[in-house]
Chains A and B, each alone.
Chain A
Amino acid sequence: QSALTQPASVSGSPGQSITISCTGTNSDIGSYHLVTWYQQQPGKAPKFMIYEVNKRPSGVSNRFSGSKSGNTASLTISGLQAEDEADYYCCSYGGSGTWVFGGGTKLTVL
């Protein structure tokens, strides 16, 4: 079971849009609609922002959206704000009751 692949860092200016990719395999992202995205602020526990690829829990801004194509899932943040600066992790079901996280992406708001 290998970690999902995410870019180590992305950056954008306030008001811009950014996209974070998360690449897996046919055994995880490619086979299941269970991709979740987490936001982690320094020193805090992760907070889930997107579940089932593209669903947003109540309380999460509609500036956050998710999608999937083949073995790659993506998180897009539009109208970037300073408060969005954080680490972001994807997670996918890997079959047989297992879960796999991505390596994490540090988002910097310039």
Chain B
Amino acid sequence: QLQLQESGPGLVKPSETLSLTCTVSGDSINSSNYCWGWIRQPPGKGLEWIATIFYSGSTYYNPSLKSRDTISVDTSKNQFSLKLSSVTAADTAVYYCARLGATVHFPGAFDYWGQGALVTVSS
């Protein structure tokens, strides 16, 4: 059974960089059938796609984040990560990592999600 688990600081100061890691267990992250992504949800609000990375390293970002974010993958650790720089209170949210179907297996669907990690931006 595939499992994803987010980890990282729950509190980040304004203007600093938020760093989160997603550890994937139960399957290899190195598959051409899937991408891996980050989605966030501010308290009481809706979902926002942040970024996606293919196993090959190709990356895609939400333009609204104005290039503050970086997604990367470490296949040796079966992990992928998110860094979001120059954070403000508006970046306070539950951050989810998820698997995205890329080919024949549920294309376009985030089919497995982590439980979510609340990150609060505050001094």
Contact = CB atoms under 8 A, between A and B. Distances in A.
A1 B60 contact: no
A1 B64 contact: yes
Interface residue SS majority, chain A: strand
A73 to B, nearest CB: 12
B101 interface: yes
Contacts, number: 69
Contact of A99 (B46, B49, B111, B114): B49
A47 B113 CA distance: 8
A109 interface: no
A57 B110 CA distance: 12
Interface string A66-106: 00000000000000000000000101010011111111100
Interface size of A as a range: 20 to 34
A48 B115 contact: no
Contacts of A102: 46
Given A45-B114, A91-B47, A99-B37, 13 more contacts: A1-B62, A36-B108, A40-B47, A46-B47, A46-B110, A48-B109, A52-B108, A57-B106, A89-B46, A91-B108, A93-B108, A96-B60, A101-B47
Interface of A: 1, 3, 34-36, 38, 40, 45-48, 51-52, 57, 89, 91, 93, 96-104
30 contacts: A1-B62, A1-B63, A3-B46, A3-B48, A34-B108, A36-B108, A45-B114, A46-B47, A48-B106, A51-B101, A51-B106, A51-B107, A57-B109, A57-B111, A89-B46, A91-B47, A91-B49, A91-B108, A91-B110, A93-B108, A97-B52, A97-B60, A98-B49, A98-B60, A98-B61, A98-B63, A99-B37, A100-B49, A101-B46, A101-B48
Interface of B: 37, 39, 45-49, 52, 58, 60-64, 96, 101, 106-111, 113-116
